[in-house]
Amino acid sequence: MAGIVVVFDFDKTILDVDSDNWVVDELGATAVFDQLLDTMPWNILMDRMMTELHLKGKTIDNIAQVLKKVPIHPQIITAVKAAHASGCDLRIVSDANYFFIETVLEHFGIGECFSEINTNPSFVDKEGRLRISRHHDFPHGCKLCPPNMCKGLIIERIQREVTVKKMIYLGDGAGDYCPSLRLKAEDYMMPRKNFPVWELICENRDIVKAEIHEWSDGDEFARILLQLIHEISREDHNDNDDDDDDENISIKDVDCGTTSRLFTVECNNFSTSAMPVHEALPQTLPVAVPVRF
Ligand SMILES: [Mg+2]
Ligand SMILES: [Zn+2]
């Protein structure tokens, strides 16, 4: 119904931390990780770290156990459930891997809320070691994104599939900047304030066409997301009322009683310029390498 696709990044968006760092740190492999960090792309490093953990005697079950302890704000779980209950189409776009994401979502009881998990494939090999591969083949043609995944290409594919829907995108990292440029004027971008994607958008805000709503923590994530869903649904309801009084469903399932009162947008000087996206794309990301997308 609601005519809304909500796309979530995973690390530092749904989760409060980065799941890759969380697993490495919790299983005592931080020193090896730090040693290798500058020597290879992140995605290849994480596959290598799974081998390092395997050599240390850590099993797939040990990895699953630490993933189940990962910090996640309770309001984010509530918001995901409410958005799903309201009829929104929820999808994950993440540079983590399928095993990590599925384990966490299932553990917190929100796995069923998502229609799609777009991430790096993973599997357990015959020695019991988790292997992580790439989502996209390289070269994928995007200079903004890491070699293993362009989230913008995923957004374009979703846009082709669901042409009549509005999109809300939530993310924190530099890898969420490319997809933010693919959003249309009727879409919404929710960057995490003071995180890399927010900084990139602030530096290049004239080329982001979507309406920007920043958030800082789980409370704001939930409040602003549910408020946007409520407002979009109400607009759709009103539009549909003009045409047909019977054929629409309002977003009754989402309790927005507290959201409208507290809803604020601090960064209200974002423009929604209609400049063509590719005219002013930076050739490289203005962030230091190595970078966690
Ligand atoms: Mg992230
Ligand atoms: Zn890209």
Q: Which ligand is nearest to the CA of 198?
A: 1
Task: List the helix and strand counts (H, then E) for the chain.
Answer: 11, 8
Overall average pLDDT of the 52-57 stretch = 98
Task: Please give the distance, rounded to the nearest whole angstrom, from the Cα atom of residue 138 to the centre of ligand 2.
Answer: 12
Confidence of residue 165 (pLDDT cuts 50, 70, 90): confident
Q: How far does the centroid of ligand 1 lie from the alpha carbon of residue 7, in Å?
A: 12
CA of 73 to the centre of ligand 1 (A): 15
The number of the ligand nearest the C-alpha atom of 19 reads 1
Q: What tens digit of pLDDT does each residue of 209-266 get?
A: 999 999 999 999 999 999 999 999 988 778 766 554 443 333 334 433 333 322 333 3
Query: CB neighbours of 16 closer than 8 A, spacing ≥ 6?
Result: 71, 72, 73, 218
Task: Compute, in angstroms, the gap from residue 147 CA to the centroid of ligand 2.
Answer: 9
Catalytic residue among 9, 20, 95, 172, which? 9
Q: How far is the CA of 272 from the centre of ligand 2 (A)?
A: 21
Q: What is the pLDDT of residue 164?
A: 73
Q: How confident is the model at residue 291 (pLDDT cuts 50, 70, 90)?
A: low
Q: Is the pLDDT of residue 175 over 70?
A: yes
Note the pTM of the prediction, 2 decimals: 0.83
| Residue among 185, 194, 229 nearest 214 (CA) | 194
Of 91, 112, 66, the C-alpha closest to 4 is 91
Annotated active-site residue 9? The verdict is yes
In a 10 Å sphere around its CB, with 0-12 CB exposed, 13-18 middle and 19+ buried, how is residue 202 labelled? Answer: middle
Ligand nearest to the CA of 179: 2
Residue pair 167/5 in contact by the 8 Å Cβ criterion: yes
Kindly identify the ligand whose nearest atom is closest to the C-alpha of 92.
1
Say yes or no to pLDDT of 169 above 60: yes
What are the structural domains of the chain? Answer: 4-16+72-119+143-267 (3.40.50.1000)
Q: What is the DSSP letter of 12?
A: I
Q: How many CA atoms lie within 13 A of 36 on its CB side?
A: 19
The yes-or-no verdict on residue 97 having pLDDT over 70 is yes
Q: What is the DSSP string of 142-169?
A: -SSS-TT--HHHHHHHHHHH-TT-EEEE
**Residue 61 is among the residues annotated as catalytic for this protein:** no
| Closest ligand relative to 174 C-alpha | 1
Ligand 1 centroid to Cα of residue 112, in Å, is 21
Going from the Cα of 287 to the center of ligand 2, the distance in angstroms, rounded, reads: 15
CA of residue 177 to ligand 2 center, whole Å: 8
Ligand 1 (ion): residues with CB under 5 Å are: 9, 11-12, 172-173
Q: Which of 11, 89, 172, 236 is catalytic?
A: 11
